[in-house]
Amino acid sequence: MTKLPAYDPTLFKGAAWYYARYRPKYPPGLFDLLTEKVKLKS
Encode pLDDT of 7-40 as tens digits.
888 989 999 999 999 999 999 899 999 988 998 6
What pLDDT, on a 0 to 100 scale, did the predictor assign at position 23? 94
**What does the chain come to in residues?**
42
* pTM for the structure as a whole: 0.43
- Banded pLDDT at 5 (limits 50, 70, 90): confident
pLDDT at 42: 57
pLDDT of residue 22: 95
Q: What are the CA-CA distances from residue 4 to residues 1, 7, 8, 13 (Å)?
A: 9, 9, 12, 21
